[in-house]
């Protein structure tokens, strides 16, 4: 039996929940930040069938040309409040729940909670990679907000 764990990541963004939800569910947005620093996820490598039971798949490409594919199934889709997907082939079915809470002042708290996280994903290196992905999301959102303010 594989030991599994859980993690919770919290970030506050200066953006409305609708925009954040759309960034997490639109291939054109996901391609700009999905994956740890040093990887890319071309838009053609992203499948989003945004409905319970629908596919969510990404294939990240490393600087050395290596690839890593994530295959998940959406369990819940509640725009702009909650998004849940399960990766059945990872551990005991790793479950990722993302909640978007409007703080009422132009900011949104995004909480990513993962359960059934297998040992390979709990290493310091894997967690650091996940954190760089969140940093990339922060930077992309800042660019989006700056662009919106210009137009």
User: Where are the chain's structural domains?
Assistant: 4-150
Query: Distance between CA 105 and CA 89 in Å, rounded?
Result: 40
User: Residue 91: what pLDDT?
Assistant: 77
Per the omega criterion (within 30 degrees of 0), is the bond before 80 cis? yes
Non-local (6+) Cβ contacts of 113 within 8 A are 6, 7, 8, 9, 96, 97, 98, 99
Residue pointed to by tokens 């039971």: 53
User: Residue 81: what pLDDT?
Assistant: 98
pLDDT, tens digit, 9 for 90 and up, residues 89-138 = 887 899 999 999 999 999 999 999 999 999 888 998 888 888 999 999 99
CB 16 within 8 A of CB 103: no
Q: DSSP E strands: which ranges in the chain?
A: 4-13, 39-40, 46-48, 55-62, 67-78, 82-87, 94-102, 108-118
Beta strand pairing call for 108-118 and 4-13 = antiparallel
pLDDT at 1 over 50: no
CATH fold label, 4-150: Alpha-D-Glucose-1,6-Bisphosphate; Chain A, domain 4 (3.30.530)
Residue pointed to by tokens 């994903």: 121
11 CB neighbour count, 10 Å cutoff: 15
| Mean pLDDT computed over every residue of the chain | 93
pLDDT, tens digit, 9 for 90 and up, residues 142-151 = 898 887 776 6
Can you say whether residue 113 is alpha, beta or left, with left for phi > 0 and alpha for psi between -120 and 50 degrees? Answer: beta
Residue pointed to by tokens 């040992």: 119
- Mean local confidence (pLDDT), 27-47: 96
What SS3 state is found at 145?
Answer: helix
Non-local (6+) Cβ contacts of 42 within 8 A are 31, 61
pLDDT, tens digit, 9 for 90 and up, residues 45-73 = 999 999 999 999 999 999 999 999 999 99
User: Residue 8: what pLDDT?
Assistant: 94
């Amino acid at each position: 039996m594989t030991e599994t764990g859980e993690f919770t990541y919290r970030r506050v963004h200066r953006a409305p929940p609708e925009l954040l939800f759309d960034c997490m569910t639109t291939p054109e947005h996901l391609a700009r930040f999905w994956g740890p620093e040093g990887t890319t996820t071309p838009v053609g490598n992203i499948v989003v069938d945004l409905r319970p039971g629908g596919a969510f798949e990404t294939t990240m490409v490393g600087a050395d040309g290596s690839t890593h594919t994530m295959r998940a199934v959406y369990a819940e889709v509640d725009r702009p409040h909650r998004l849940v997907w399960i990766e059945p082939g990872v551990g005991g079915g790793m479950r990722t729940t993302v909640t978007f809470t409007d703080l009422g002042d132009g900011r949104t708290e995004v909480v990513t909670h993962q359960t059934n996280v297998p040992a390979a994903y709990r290493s310091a290196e894997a967690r650091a990679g996940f954190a760089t992905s969140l940093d990339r999301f922060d930077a992309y959102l800042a660019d989006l907000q700056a662009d919106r303010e210009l137009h």
